[in-house]
Each structure stands twice: as structure tokens, then as C-alpha cells.
Chain A
Amino acid sequence: MLEAERLSYWFPSRASTPVEPKGMEAPPIERAALKEISVRFQPGEFVLVVGPSGCGKSTFIQALLGVVPALTGGTVAGRVRLDGEEVLARGLAGVAGKVGLVLQDPESQLTNLDVEGEVVFGPENLGLPREEIARRLDWSLTVAGIGPLRNRFVYALSGGQKQRVAIAAGLAMRPRVLLLDSPTSNLDPIGGEETLKAIVDLWRGGAVELIVMAAHKIDDVLPVATRLLVMSEGRIILDGPPESILTQHLLALRDELGIFVPELCELAVLLNAGQGQPINVDGTAAALRERVRVGLALPVEGAASSTPTAARQALPLTGGPPAVEVADLHFAYEPGLPVLNGVSLSIERGQFVALLGQNGTGKTTLAKNIAGLYRPTGGTIRVGGVETTSSATYLRSGKVGYVFQYPDHQFVALTVADELAYGLRARAIPEPEVAKRVALMLELFKLSAHRDAPPYGLSMGEKRRLSVATMLVLRPDVLILDEPTTGQDRHNTVALMEVLRQEARERGMTIIQITHDMEQAAEYADRVMVMDGGRIVFDGTIEALFADAELLEQCHLKPTPTSSVCRLAWPELQMAPATPGRLAQLLPSLTFPLPE
């Protein structure tokens, strides 16, 4: 149905013209972003493409569509065929209406004013009758779960909502092939699950014959995927049934390639479960019960590399005033439309707090109020015991740092070193001290090699590290991070989170992280807060949160696979461990009678 044959692609060099002249000899294969990829997809397949950041996943997806090199320039070799027709030669015009594409960044792929206009845009371009467009519109909105947003302006939606609009717009073309590039990376857990369910239903119902999806996290889609491609440095290095690849190569994928391996697979491998069987919560829970019944301990070493437990041991540094204190905070962007409705919280020095909640519940608004970017309409904010509600001056002192979701927004200088020095110089820090701190950050974030490089030229992972470094260099007492690891592979994520954990532990820096990643929150946060309807509706440990099924449903959150497995294995357990590491730690003390 869709195939690539010895497909190679080289990005345009800066000195070259956008499209290399025909007949020019291809550059060396080592420099290619895609290296002689040959793969054939059949109708009925649901293919996952995984790999570390920069491995060529997105480029591969775009090449299958003919975007590469038609719109990107560069040099291409080999072939891509859809139903026997050449794709690369015809470009996008040849596949419009046959292949749907949903990109990683919803912001850029929305081209209309409102949700309805966005979804009908494609069918209108195809010249379909109005009645057919109406049918497709209703259907697409329903399966993407955005019916109530139908008349909303797209630019006023949250990131996750925009992503679902982009998916609905892709579905409205009723494509036979659907290509997806990390389509759920910006969604809250349940939002992501619902969207994937919609995609899977399309595929199962035969409305879409083939799905090829690139993703960093594949936990939710693993049970339905029929095939897994693992990419590294522009090549497909593994291709086969997902469960056999994941179970056979788990450690190599996780630790060498830096791929997020589904937590359930980690558990199944640790428990020696799922050999030749589908990996699911039921089977893993049964294996866990059996393991305990026969008195075998979990191989703690295997789990411990990814799940250090020191975060829980790092107690908040008490003795002074709370790092952040918020009392009855109210905020509205427009009169009569409150976003924060009386938020109260207190965070001690050195705590690592995860701020959770579904898209559009006020997490970012609360964080920006704490950072002093917004002026509250009511209530008070204290940072380090000093009231900052009506004063913007503390912004200057660098007491509260804020790392934005898109790192590019924060860059202001021409080189990485100047970027790091900028905030220090703006605060009149003496030049020797500036040089010392910049060197320290370059080293800490492994950016020394890029010292004189322009920030915009860095990879996304490096940009994220730099954006965090520009804040840490100011040594803030409180650091707020808005989805700092979105779209990052495991290596990049772990490296960044470990630096943050170290800062919290050694320097007593308070960290507030906005995230949708439950596993990351379980792994790193001392404490989680959940927002819903502009209020904090939960404040406690993640285990206590996962024990409250009603609240999880209300707030569109879901527990980690480890928590789900443990709850199924031992329903009597009040506080089920949330990570494989904590399960391994707790196992010797679990003496519950096993269910008959």
C-alpha cells in the first residue's frame, strides 16, 4: 500500500539552493537525515515509529507524504510509493485527500479562524457537496471529542484542545492513510487517551486503512499497535511486533538509545511476565501476585537505574518562611470570566511540586501569577515571606524563575554564552562572577561545545537545556517550569530532571513543574497539586492522588501503570506504589493475603 525503497534524504546545506539541482551527486550517506530506508506498509497495520530525539522520525513521516523534499528542499534519493504511484515526484498534490497528517505542533497547522472552519477547510478544498461536509464535520468533531468547541476561535484554545482540532481536521479528509507525528504530546493524560481511542476506533472500523505514528511515549497505544519501527541516526534498526521487540531489547532501548519504554513492559520484564503474551495490566498484575506468592523478590537492580527514590527522602528545608505562599488568589483575563477562583497553597523551601490538571484549568495562569507576570484581581502572593502581589520588582531580583513551554520565546542573545550571561548582566552582576557562573552552567548542561553557537541553531533538547540554564544561572529561590520535557526522549528528560532534582536537594531551590506526565510526576515530585476549575482540588502525595479514583476521573488524570497493576494485584492496598522503583522497595514488606 505504502512503501519506501532505499529512501535517503539530506537536509539543504546553508550554502545551497533550497532544492539541489538535478543530476548533482548525492552527499555522503553519513550526512543523511534518512539513510537508505526500505520498508513496506500493508493495509490494516498500525505502525509505531520510535527513536531518540533527532533520529529522523518526523522527517521519515514527512517523506512518506512527499513533504520532503517538495517543501523542505534538500536532496532525496530512493522512492516512496502509495498504491504503486510515485509520491516524491508528485509531491503533496498527489496525496491530498488520500493521506492525512497530524503534526507535533498544533499551533502551526491550524490555518483557519474557528474550529468549525478548520475542520471543513479540507473538504471544502476538495469541492465536496455541503451535505457531505456537514456529515464529516459532525463525525470528526465527535471522534476527536471536541463537539462543544465547535464555534470557538482556535487561537483562544489551550494547546491540547488545538491538537484535537488538528486531528479532527485531518480526519475530515477521510484519508486512507493517517500519518501522525507525536499527536498527543500536548494533551492531558485522559485527553491523550481519548484522542488515541478515536484514532484506534477509526482504524478498527476500517475508516483508515493504515496508521503510521511517530511518538516518544507509546504506553497508551501499545496494546493496539501491530508493528514497531525503532529508528536511530536515520536508519530503521528494529522492525517487528512491538511486544517482542520491547521485551527482547528493553534495556538497550531504554538505556542505550534513550527511548521511553512503556512502564508496563518494564514491569513485565522485571516480573518475567508476558513471554509471548500481550502485555497488559491484568497479565502483569497476575504475574506480580504469583511472584509474591512463591516468595520471589523483584530484581531491584534493574528497576533502580530508572527509578531513584531519593526524591522522597529529600525533605523540605524548614525553619524559614515558606518559599511560596498563596492565599485566596483570584485572576481573570477579562472581567466576568474568572480563571483562578480562590487558590490557596503553601510550598516549603526545597520542595519539588508537580502541578497537574487537564488542559485549560488554570495551571499556567497560576504559575504566571506566582512569577509576577500577571497582577492578581484578588488575594495575596508571598515569595520567601515577602509579599509580591502588587510589586513587579522581585522579578528583577531573580527570586522566581520561569521556564516557558517553547524555549525559543525566551532567547534574547546571539550566542549560547551571551544568552546565559544576559540575565546576570541585566542585574549588574560583576563580570568575573558572570564568567564563572556561565562556565558552570555550560558544563552542567553539557553545552560547552556550543558556547559560541546561536541559540536558535541548537537541537530542541539543547534549546530546552539552555532555557532552563538561563534561569538556573540566576540562582532563583523558586523555579517554575511549564512542560519542560515535552517531545524529549528519555535521555534528555532524565538529564534535565536530574539537574533540577540536584538543585532542589543541594541548594534548596523550590521547583514547581507544570506537567501532564504522570510517570514523571510520580518519579520526581515530592508533592502533587491538582487544579480543576481554577482551584486546587488536591494537594498531597501522588500515591494518595492515585487512590482517589473519583477525583482522577473528575480531573481527567490517570494513574501510572505501576499503580494500576498494584491496585489490581492488591485491591486492599491503601497507597499503591506509583513507580517500579518504589514497588521494588516496598515488596519485601507486602504481606497482604492474596486474593483466592
Chain B
Amino acid sequence: MPLIEFEEGTSFMHKLDPLSKLGWSFVVLVWLLAMRDPVPVLALGLLVIAVGRLGGGLSAIELLLTTAKLSVIALPIVLIQALLYPGQTALAAGPFGPITREGISFGLAIALRIVGVVAASTIVFKTTDPRDLVYGLHRHLHIPYRFAYIIFAGLRFIPLMQYEAATIREAQTVRGVYLARSPSLLDRLRALPSKPLQWKTFLVMLIANGLRHVPASTIALEVRGFGLHSHRTFYREHRVDRRGPIFALAWLAAMVAYLVLTGTSLMRSVQSTL
């Protein structure tokens, strides 16, 4: 199963319109950026996961695993900040100076922000039919269909690339490319130097296979009149009810209340993060 493939369902989140869900994820992003302490960032991240579980009907474990896989960049950030952030409470000696409580806290907050944003985006994409998204962008935000379709094609391409990647990995495993997966530790160590080449080969293949589809896809689009007329009809019915905007506005209100109650300056938080 691809990491961020749309999963059909009838949950509360599935029923919301795509633009409201995008609005919600934007509120989550801003809210996370406004927080500096890792504890409330973690709490908000858990709340987002709860929305995915209870509101989206998604498996919390799968959601956490997916988020973890997509947040691979978070761990190095914690390490870099722990080693380099100029804090005051030294916990241990590091290669570039003392490792401080503030450094770890700052790094954790950034990492958890990434995790939170990835979790919210994952929930949006797993509960949003890309066709509804294209329709919403075209009809309500007046984005030309050609451009809206590019976003759709991108979303459609992600699971395809993941299927393709799995096939290439299998095909190359048969060729002996992934000997590093051998249960023998000696084999794994022996295969270590060839790892970069393996990844290069894999990525080249993945890109080459993606490009392989381009000419036929272009022909298929053109033959079926893509972009032929400025007007097009939509067969699928798209209903937008009030729940989506209410949901997004409720989160916006909650964020504003938090900022006011805690006296947080959004601008200052963003500037300090950057």
C-alpha cells in the first residue's frame, strides 16, 4: 500500500470538502509554527493524529508509521540543533561545544512541527479524493483546469511511483542488487560500500520508468481532448456543505484563542524559527 494513497471511506473527514481540509492543514501549520516549547507542539501533534483516527477513520498506528517514514528529516534536525544551538543549560560536552537543554528542546520542537505538519497533510491526502480537489480548485478557486489537473496528476503519480518503485526493487533484488538485506552481518558489511551506487541505480531506474510513461500519457491526454475547449463539464457530482468551513473555522478560532491566552506572538515565533 503506498504511503499517501487516497483511502475511500465515509468518515467525517472524508465528507468535508477538500478546500476546507486544506484550510485546516494550513491552520495546523501556522499553529505549530507559533509554538516554541516541544510539549504543546507534541500535544497539538497528538490532537492532529486523533483527528485522523477519530475523524478520518484512519489507523493511528499506520498514521504514525506513515508520518514517521515521511518525517525522516526530523531526526537529523534534533541532532544538529542539540549539537549547535547556543543554549545556557549544559547537559554534556559535545564535539562543537556543550550540548544544552535549550538546544535539545529547540531541535525537538522543530522536529515535532515537521511531524505534525506531515501528519495533517497525510490525513488530508488520505481522506481526499483527488478528483474532488481538482474540482474544488477549478470551480471555487477559479484555477484553470489545466493547472488543477497538474496537481491531480501529481497526486495520482505518487502512488504510481510507489508501485513502480516496489516493482523495480523486486526486479533488482532478483539481480542481486540488495545483497545488503542478507541476514548475514558479514554480507551486510561487505555490501555497505556499494550502497550509494545501489541507490543511484534505483533512482535512475525510477526516473527513467517515470519518463517512459510520458509520451504515451501525453498522447492519451491529447487524443481525449484535454485542453481542447476552454469549457469542460464534470460528470461527478461534488457537494459542499457547511461542515467543512465550520470545521476549519473552529480550528482557526481555537488557534487564535491559544495565541491570545498564552500571549504568543505569531510573528516572533516564526522569525525565531527561521
State whether B231 touches A111 (Cβ < 8 A). no
5 contacts between A and B (CB under 8 A): A101-B223, A111-B221, A112-B131, A117-B131, A122-B224
Q: In angstroms, how far is the closest chain A Cβ from the Cβ of B154?
A: 12
User: Which chain A positions have C-beta within 8 A of B87?
Assistant: none
User: Which chain A positions have C-beta within 8 A of B212?
Assistant: 108, 408
Does A24 belong to the interface (CB within 8 Å)?
no
Q: In angstroms, how far is the closest chain A Cβ from the Cβ of B27?
A: 27
| Closest A residue by C-beta to B231 | A127
| Closest A residue by C-beta to B164 | A409
Given known contacts A105-B216, A126-B229, is B130 in contact with A402 (CB within 8 Å)?
A: no
Q: In angstroms, how far is the closest chain B Cβ from the Cβ of A200?
A: 21
Enumerate B6-59 residues with CB–CB distance to A below 8 Å: 6
Does B269 belong to the interface (CB within 8 Å)?
no
Residue from B153, B176, B227, B236 in contact with A111 in the complex, judged by beta carbons closer than 8 Å: B153
Q: Closest 6 A-B residue pairs measured CB to CB?
A: A108-B216, A122-B224, A426-B176, A125-B225, A109-B220, A92-B222
In the bound complex, what is the Cα–Cα distance between A229 and B232 (angstroms)? 39
Given known contacts A122-B225, A426-B177, is B183 in contact with A393 (CB within 8 Å)?
A: yes
Residue from A103, A125, A155, A392 in contact with B219 in the complex, judged by beta carbons closer than 8 Å: A103
User: Which chain B positions have C-beta within 8 A of A292?
Assistant: none
State whether A426 touches B175 (Cβ < 8 A). yes
User: Which chain A positions have C-beta within 8 A of B131?
Assistant: 112-113, 117
State whether B163 touches A155 (Cβ < 8 A). yes
Of B131, B181, B219, most buried by chain A (CB within 10 Å of CB) is: B219
Interface stretch, picked from B96-104, B201-209, B257-265, is B201-209
Interface stretch, picked from A64-72, A214-222, A500-508, A556-564, is A64-72
Residue from A93, A125, A410 in contact with B174 in the complex, judged by beta carbons closer than 8 Å: A410
| Closest B residue by C-beta to A109 | B220
User: Which chain A positions have C-beta within 8 A of B233?
Assistant: 123-124, 127-130, 133
State whether B176 touches A423 (Cβ < 8 A). yes
Residue from B174, B223, B234 in contact with A99 in the complex, judged by beta carbons closer than 8 Å: B223
User: Which chain A positions have C-beta within 8 A of B220?
Assistant: 101, 103, 108-111, 166, 169
Report the count of interface residues on B (CB-CB < 8 A).
55
State whether A408 touches B209 (Cβ < 8 A). yes
State whether A127 touches B232 (Cβ < 8 A). yes
State whether A134 touches B235 (Cβ < 8 A). yes
Does B213 belong to the interface (CB within 8 Å)?
yes
State whether A393 touches B182 (Cβ < 8 A). yes
| Closest A residue by C-beta to B178 | A395
Does A100 belong to the interface (CB within 8 Å)?
yes
Does A525 belong to the interface (CB within 8 Å)?
no
Interface stretch, picked from B67-75, B112-120, B165-173, is B165-173
User: Which chain A positions have C-beta within 8 A of B175?
Assistant: 410, 412, 422-423, 426, 470
Enumerate B187-217 residues with CB–CB distance to A below 8 Å: 187, 201, 205, 208-209, 212-217
Does A371 belong to the interface (CB within 8 Å)?
yes
State whether B232 touches A124 (Cβ < 8 A). yes
Residue from A65, A96, A392, A398 in contact with B183 in the complex, judged by beta carbons closer than 8 Å: A392
User: Which chain A positions have C-beta within 8 A of B130?
Assistant: 113
Of A92, A99, A116, A401, most buried by chain B (CB within 10 Å of CB) is: A92
In the bound complex, what is the Cα–Cα distance between A133 and B179 (angstroms)? 52
Given known contacts A108-B213, A126-B228, A410-B175, is B182 in contact with A101 (CB within 8 Å)?
A: no
Of A103, A110, A412, most buried by chain B (CB within 10 Å of CB) is: A412
| Closest A residue by C-beta to B214 | A108
Does B245 belong to the interface (CB within 8 Å)?
no
State whether B174 touches A169 (Cβ < 8 A). no
In the bound complex, what is the Cα–Cα distance between A128 and B232 (angstroms)? 8
State whether B225 touches A373 (Cβ < 8 A). no
Does A447 belong to the interface (CB within 8 Å)?
no
In the bound complex, what is the Cα–Cα distance between A133 and B216 (angstroms)? 24
| Closest A residue by C-beta to B176 | A426
State whether B219 touches A101 (Cβ < 8 A). yes
Does B156 belong to the interface (CB within 8 Å)?
yes
Q: In angstroms, how far is the closest chain A Cβ from the Cβ of B227?
A: 7
